[in-house]
């Protein structure tokens, strides 16, 4: 069963383009990286502790696990994770990351905050060995599809989950035909 659309963008394309990050001064952008005492980005549920574990045990294929958090009046109002390739995403290369868990508070939607967060991630990742940036979204999430298209991601194909032991899954990519 097809469950998602998978988009891709080369970091080289991003490096060549000027990244415009316009945000009113009352907003604050924070780049987060895991540390021995900082397990999960603020505003994310504790279940994301697993990514800290994957980062420090080097289960991720690279060291680019990070988050961008946008604050307004001391509250996180938009945030994204950049998650390195690992066994659940076999279509990704060793130096790739996926932009995931793109969240904007309902009161702040439509202001371009998610786009600013992703552009900040591009800026941070452009000085690393990242090759491609991936973005996976469901077929019914039209606003997410518009966002990644606006940011220059191109459809790479569709994704479907393949389950093992009824609880563990990997996302398989069926590439778009290029003829």
pLDDT, tens digit, 9 for 90 and up, residues 65-97: 999 999 999 999 999 999 999 998 999 999 999
pLDDT, tens digit, 9 for 90 and up, residues 113-124: 999 999 999 989
Residue 110 lies in a domain: yes
Residue 2 lies in a domain: no
Domain residues for 102? 9-154
Residue 93 lies in a domain: yes
126: helix, strand or coil: coil
Query: How many Å apart are CA 76 and CA 32, to the nearest integer?
Result: 13
Q: Can you give the CATH number for the domain in which 25 is found?
A: 3.40.630.30
Are 99 and 81 in contact, with CB atoms under 8 Å apart?
A: yes
Burial class (CB in 10 A: 0-12, 13-18, 19+), 65: buried
Q: How many domains does the chain have?
A: 1
Model confidence pTM above 0.85: yes
């Amino acid at each position: 069963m097809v469950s998602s659309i998978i988009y891709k963008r080369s970091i080289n394309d991003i490096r060549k383009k000027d990244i415009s990050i316009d945000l009113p001064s009352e907003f604050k952008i924070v780049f987060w990286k895991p540390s021995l005492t900082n397990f999960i980005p603020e505003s994310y549920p504790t279940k994301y502790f697993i990514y800290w574990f994957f980062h420090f045990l080097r289960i991720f294929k690279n060291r680019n696990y990070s988050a961008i958090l946008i604050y307004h009046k001391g509250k996180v109002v938009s945030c994204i994770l950049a998650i390195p390739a690992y066994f659940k995403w076999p279509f990704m290369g060793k130096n790739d990351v996926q932009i995931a868990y793109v969240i904007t508070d309902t009161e702040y939607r439509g202001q371009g905050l998610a786009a600013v967060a992703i552009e900040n991630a591009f800026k941070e990742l452009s000085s690393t060995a990242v090759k491609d940036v991936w973005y996976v979204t469901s077929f019914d999430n039209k606003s997410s599809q518009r966002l990644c298209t606006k940011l220059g991601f191109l459809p790479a194909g569709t994704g479907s989950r393949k389950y093992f032991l009824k609880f563990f899954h990997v996302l398989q990519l069926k590439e778009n035909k290029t003829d």
